[in-house]
Amino acid sequence: MDYKRYIAEKIKIDGVSADEIYSSVTLPPDTQMGDFALPCFKFAKIFRKSPAVIAEELKSAFNIDKVITEVSAVNGYLNFKVNRYEFAKTVISEIENRKDKFGSSVVGNGKTICIDYSSVNIAKPFHIGHLSTTVIGGALYKLFKFLGYNVVGINHLGDYGTQFGKLICAYKHWGNKEEVESGGIHAINDLYVRFNNEADEDMQAEAREYFKLIESGDEEANALFEWFKALTMDYVNAIYKKLNITFDSYAGERFYSDKMQPVIDELEEKRLLETSEGAKIVDLEKFGMPPCLILRSDGASLYATRDLAAAIYRKNTYDFYKCLYVVAYQQNLHFKQVFKVLELMGKDWASDLVHVAYGMVSLEDGAMSTRKGKVVWLEDVISKCIDKAYIIINEKNPDLENKKEIAEKVGLGAVIFGALYNNKIKDIVFSYDKVLSFEGETSVYVQYTCARANSVLSKSMTGGSLPENYEPNTAEFELVKQLAQFPEILAEAADKYEPSYIARFAVDLAQKFNKFYIDCKILAAEDEKSRQFRLSLTSATLQTLKNSLSILGIGVPDKM
């Protein structure tokens, strides 16, 4: 049962919908006054009365019952106290019944969301800069599925451009099959870097020829391209597997090669295309933006041209409700331009395109540059986290079984959580010590709390069953209230495209559990009723922590 809904439906205010009341009901941090509250300031304008008077009037009209046991009006707030036992029973039994589905919903049924994320560049390093798009996109993917949406995960591969001509040229001059076969993406990247450092005019011209050969369907050039692509995908797929990331489509930039001309024609037809210094552009000056470049003066298409074609293709293919682009804020202008051009083309769905922008990730030593071949590969960050996790776990609990497996879950969790915990738009400095701390606001802390809950439950032998008529104390009740918020947190996270809300919720929940764990004896409780209640509460908490982490793509070891 949704208590906020319950309260909202018991309050009648003329001219204000139950939904509006619902969204105004809050859970005050200080529970002295009440467990739920309705601030009446919003309604003051409508009724031309002070919030205090409105609160008083609403209070008189409110009928308390066995669920809402007390109502008071204080300083413009209407405060409610609930029957703690009834509340706890509803929340805990819902978790017991729904288990790993607790928090899921059907709000998204019948709606499709496309999520463009991770979008790797073929033959280029998959580096720490790709961490956020991969894990934020991955979390949104799971979140929207959990909320009942049909989700299409799209890896908009960077597989188009003159760089592939350069790469083939470099390979022809300096490469050999065995080296590339064994070195994989690293060997390809080395060739590319070497080309950029050493290629002379002749080689540049040759590279342009190779690019044309790829474009015109030349067999050898395309076979090489496909080989480089396969090596890149092998490499990133191994990382995706570790991070629990999946895609439904790998339609990349190249996929749109033959889908750009109709867009250009349409732009022309709609008189949006202008010629400027030989190039074709859409003028966006009126909107305070530089022009959107559609075709270069040599007739070559651009990144934006392919994104226009991709958006139209996605709308036609998936008829999306929303199409999200999880891409760094450096591309803010690009997406503003693309969305604007689509709007000018009369695509009314342009307003359903969302650039989910996020900040930069750097390492503590400042390293992250991809130029000059000085790259921090994501794979190395992941391995280092797993290795460090192993050392820490081994120190803490040397007798633990399956230490390797556990270190893997802990290390991977730390990488993911490290990139997800902050509001996504913030630049973050990734610190191994910080993300692997047992005490901080980390996945390790949450996982450790799960292990603690697990250990209590397995020692209890029987688990708990909800007793009749039990009066929860404050630590217990605070924990129950936190659990009750999970569905709402998920809805908010989806609404703002912020997996960080879920990460924070998990840390808060773990903190509340640990407070409860210290304040209340679980196994050695004062009486059997308390013991049963606390065991049920522990198991509901464990389930909810697991559900939270699972949406983020993080596994939970039984022991730590």
Q: Which is nearer to ligand ARG, 24 or 121 (CB)?
A: 121
Burial of 365 (0-12, 13-18, 19+ CB in 10 A): exposed
Cα–Cα distances (Å) from 362 to 126, 328, 383, 421, 430, in that order, read: 14, 13, 17, 15, 6
Q: What is the DSSP string of 39-85?
A: E-HHHHHHHTS-HHHHHHHHHHHPPP-SSEEEEEEETTEEEEEE-HH
Q: Which is nearer to ligand ARG, 119 or 132 (CB)?
A: 119
**Could you give the angle at which helices 163-174 and 177-198 cross, rounded to 10 degrees?**
120
Sheet containing 36-39: order of strands: 36-39, 77-82, 68-74
Shortest Å, Cβ 380 to ligand ARG: 19
Shortest Å, Cβ 131 to ligand ARG: 13
Q: Which is nearer to ligand ARG, 119 or 482 (CB)?
A: 119
142 near 115, Cβ under 8 Å?
A: no
Shortest Å, Cβ 362 to ligand ARG: 17
Structure tokens at 153: 């995960």
Positions in the binding site for ligand ARG (CB under 6 A): 116, 119, 121, 156, 158, 307, 310, 325, 327
Shortest Å, Cβ 310 to ligand ARG: 6
Residue from 17, 19, 24, 70 nearest 51 by CA:
24
Q: Which is nearer to ligand ARG, 339 or 516 (CB)?
A: 339
Q: Which is nearer to ligand ARG, 236 or 545 (CB)?
A: 236
Q: Which is nearer to ligand ARG, 403 or 424 (CB)?
A: 424
Q: Which is nearer to ligand ARG, 309 or 556 (CB)?
A: 309
Sequence-ordered list of residues with C-beta below 8 angstroms from that of 233, at least 6 positions apart, any chain: 122, 250
What percentage of the chain's residues is helix, strand, coil (to nearest 5)?
Answer: 60, 10, 30
490 near 148, Cβ under 8 Å?
A: no
Q: Which is nearer to ligand ARG, 338 or 552 (CB)?
A: 338
Q: How far apart are CA 385 and CA 240, in angstroms?
A: 16
94 near 485, Cβ under 8 Å?
A: no
Q: Which is nearer to ligand ARG, 121 or 536 (CB)?
A: 121
Judging by DSSP bridges, how do beta strands 273-276 and 279-282 pair with one another? antiparallel
For 342, how many CA atoms within 13 A lie in the half-sphere containing its CB?
A: 26
Maximum Cα–Cα distance across the chain? 88
Shortest Å, Cβ 331 to ligand ARG: 7
Shortest Å, Cβ 246 to ligand ARG: 17
Shortest Å, Cβ 104 to ligand ARG: 28
Shortest Å, Cβ 497 to ligand ARG: 15
Shortest Å, Cβ 121 to ligand ARG: 5
